[in-house]
């Protein structure tokens, strides 16, 4: 195990058993944390500044303005600094207030910080700082102009005198407190990325490196066929989706009102993306590149290995087309063959006979009617017809749908809604 050298000032006086000089652990904490605190002395007074940082090898780079005190002070002989990083992993609740604590991982780095003047080193450090915010962002954004670069300064701090301190585990109650009638345990804390919110007038789809990491059940990526591509639904799809679905008949049996503008379509997209029970796609015609509709997985259940297909909205020119047939084949193939699903469901309005016939042509079996199951767009209650396909029925359905595509036919025009 590679370690940093232990010094007097890198050795904690309180609970030294929690200290570690393991290089890998120090790097892990520095790389995971987004903000560090830079401590230094200016005019005989202590100063602490929060700032961004990024590690490249055994050098820690600190971001700042060219006019800031630490940057100016470091120009001559370098600046003695102490950098602190802390990640809180949990709140530790003991039976006694005195023994409350926190689970954490922290790093302290001492050393002499120097300004970074070399242009190649500055470029590498800036790229590391940008990719620290979002890996892949450096290649997907405009780099600083000369004027912008001149306004920004960097300090380089060698990771020679660095130590970590870690607290893990549950509460440590005194023996006499063990029988007290108070709850004790750990409340975990985790920093997670939320769903990115686009800027106004955003026309660029969300890049893959910003999509939340998750299991393949909820983030399958694009599903590609000969006639159709199912892309993850995005705010940027609003104009194309509005144009494809601007037809009253498309919305007859859907549970949401027909949008009258691109802005209202964007609101529908935002609601779909915010729904944790839904994995929405936009359907794009391979031949023309046009958006033709939208569909989704929902009721995703990896434990029971089940999923539903619905929220389907397809422009009328593509009803009963190979485009629609292939969409269903791609989704079923991904569910059964890739995810290992055992059951796929559909739900549709009891009044939507066209949808019911289309689902039946897929090879799904009608299971029954869910009474007063959902509210329609007009406020009335609807009965929902439930269909399903199980893994044993999938091979025959797959062969039938693939044969229909090979002969140029389209077998389904379903617009089922959950």
Q: Is the pLDDT of residue 399 over 90?
A: yes
Residue 219 has pLDDT above 60, yes or no: yes
Task: Return mean pLDDT, the chain.
Answer: 91
Burial group, residue 380, by CB count within 10 angstroms (0-12, 13-18, 19+): exposed
User: 294 and 312 in contact (C-beta within 8 Å)?
Assistant: yes
Determine how many CB atoms are found less than 10 A away from the CB of residue 188: 10
Q: What is the 3-state secondary structure (H, E, C) of 49-100?
A: EEEEEEEECCEEEEEEECCCHHHHHCCCCCEEEEEEEEEEEEEEECCCHHHC
Mean pLDDT computed over 326-355: 95
Q: Using pLDDT thresholds of 50, 70 and 90, give the confidence band for residue 360.
A: very high
Q: Within the chain, what is the greatest distance between any pair of CA atoms?
A: 84
Beta bridge partners of 48: 39
pLDDT of residue 345: 97
* Of 280, 333, 335, residue with least CA distance to 311: 280
Residue 413 predicted with pLDDT over 50: no
Q: How many Cβ atoms sit within 10 Å of the Cβ of residue 172?
A: 10
Instruction: Yes or no: say if 376 and 307 are a contact pair by the CB < 8 Å rule.
Output: no
pLDDT tens by residue, 34-78: 999 999 988 888 999 999 999 999 999 998 876 676 666 666 678
- For the chain, which domains are there? 16-188 (2.30.110.10), 219-406 (3.40.630.30)
Instruction: Specify whether the backbone of 78 is left (phi greater than 0), alpha (psi in -120 to 50) or beta.
Output: left
Measure CA 323 to chain center: 29
pLDDT at 286: 93
Residues 33, 83: Cα–Cα separation, whole Å:
12
Q: Would you state the pLDDT for residue 408?
A: 66
């Amino acid at each position: 195990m590679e370690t940093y050298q232990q010094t007097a000032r890198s050795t904690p006086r309180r609970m030294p058993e929690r200290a570690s000089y393991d290089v890998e652990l120090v790097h892990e904490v520095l790389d995971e944390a987004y903000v560090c605190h830079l401590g230094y002395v200016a005019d005989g007074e202590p100063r602490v500044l929060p700032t961004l940082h990024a590690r490249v090898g055994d050098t820690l780079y600190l971001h700042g303005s060219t006019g800031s005190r630490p940057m100016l002070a470091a120009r001559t002989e370098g600046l003695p600094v102490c950098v602190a990083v802390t990640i809180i992993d949990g709140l530790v609740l003991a039976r006694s207030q005195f023994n409350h604590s926190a689970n954490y991982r922290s790093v302290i780095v001492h050393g002499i910080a120097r300004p970074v003047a070399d242009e190649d080193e500055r470029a590498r450090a800036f790229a590391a700082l940008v990719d620290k915010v979002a890996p892949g962002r450096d290649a997907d954004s405009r780099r600083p102009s000369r004027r912008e670069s001149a306004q920004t300064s960097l300090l380089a701090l060698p990771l020679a005198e660095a130590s970590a301190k870690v607290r893990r585990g549950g509460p440590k109650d005194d023996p006499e407190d063990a029988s007290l009638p108070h709850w004790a345990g750990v409340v975990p804390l985790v920093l997670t990325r939320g769903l990115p919110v686009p800027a106004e007038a955003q026309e660029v789809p969300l890049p893959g490196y910003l999509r939340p990491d998750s299991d393949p059940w909820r983030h399958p990526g694009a599903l590609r066929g000969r006639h159709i591509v199912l892309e993850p639904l995005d705010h940027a799809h609003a104009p194309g989706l509005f144009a494809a679905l601007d037809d009253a008949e498309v919305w007859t049996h859907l549970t949401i009102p027909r949008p009258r503008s691109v802005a209202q379509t964007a609101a529908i997209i935002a609601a779909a993306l915010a729904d944790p029970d839904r994995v929405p796609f936009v359907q794009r015609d391979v031949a023309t590149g046009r958006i033709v509709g939208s569909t989704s997985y929902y009721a995703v259940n990896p434990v029971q290995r089940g999923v539903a297909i619905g929220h389907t909205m397809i422009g009328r020119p593509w009803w009963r087309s190979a485009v629609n047939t292939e969409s269903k084949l791609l989704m079923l193939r991904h569910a059964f063959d890739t995810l290992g699903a055992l059951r796929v469901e559909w739900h549709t309005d009891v009044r939507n006979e066209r949808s019911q016939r289309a689902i039946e042509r897929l090879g799904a079996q009608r299971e029954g009617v869910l009474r007063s199951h959902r509210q329609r767009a007009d406020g009335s209650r609807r009965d929902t017809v439930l269909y399903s396909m199980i893994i044993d029925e999938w091979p025959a359905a797959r062969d039938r749908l693939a044969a229909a595509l090979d002969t140029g036919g389209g077998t389904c025009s379903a617009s089922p809604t959950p």
